[in-house]
Amino acid sequence: MIQLLYSVIFAEMALILLLLFKTPLRKLIILTFDRIKRGRGPVVVKTIGATVFVVLMSSVYSLLSIQRRSEDGAVLNPTDQVLASKHLLEASLMGFVLFLSLMIDRLHHYIRELRLLRKTMETAKKQNRSFEDGKNTNGEEVKALGGEIAVLKAKIKKLESESESKGKELKSAQAETEALRKSADGFLMEYDRLLEDNQNLRNQLESIGHSPEGKKSM
């Protein structure tokens, strides 16, 4: 029993050393503990821990019983002294085993938390880098869009000026058209007047040709 406890203690101390220092075996040990803590592993570990605790309490109770007999005035024989020493040693070793087991469990837990934290930090760094790269790219795109907007504004101003000049030309053309129309109306009125005067002259000439004087002259 005592030799088994010593073996367990030395094994736990070796595990603690392997978990404390970064060695190739630490990853394998962590993976092994990860598998143990899945499924029925935690139940088995708790059962073993409870059994060791019960045996520890039994050794403590036996030790206390021997001490009570000595306090009552009875003289302890060599056998009782050996048993008391044995129970004390076993209780100490089992308590140390449970303490080291708790230390191993906490070390495994904190190493896992540290690994997850490192992965989270690496992911955050990658996201930050991608965000900064995207920000730089967006800045370049904004500059390019600003240049395009400036070019478009210049084109719009040019088109506005051309539109104004075309509008002025259109107004002048409309004014010229109106003036030509008025001139054409005047020409038509003058043409109608000349036709009327010509018709009057013809009528006069015809009237003169049909008069008696006209006949005499003939």
Residues in the chain: 218
State pLDDT tens for residues 95-121.
888 888 888 888 888 888 888 888 888
As given in the structure block, the two tokens for residue 61 are 């109770």
State pLDDT tens for residues 177-187.
777 777 767 77
SS3 labels along 144-172: HHHHHHHHHHHHHHHHHHHHHHHHHHHHH
Task: Provide the sign of the torsion angle of the four alpha carbons 128, 130, 134, 137, taken in this order.
Answer: positive
State pLDDT tens for residues 161-214.
887 887 787 777 677 777 777 776 777 787 777 878 778 888 888 888 765 544
State pLDDT tens for residues 79-93.
777 877 888 888 888
Question: Tell me, what's the pLDDT at 218?
Answer: 44
DSSP-derived 3-state class of residue 22: coil
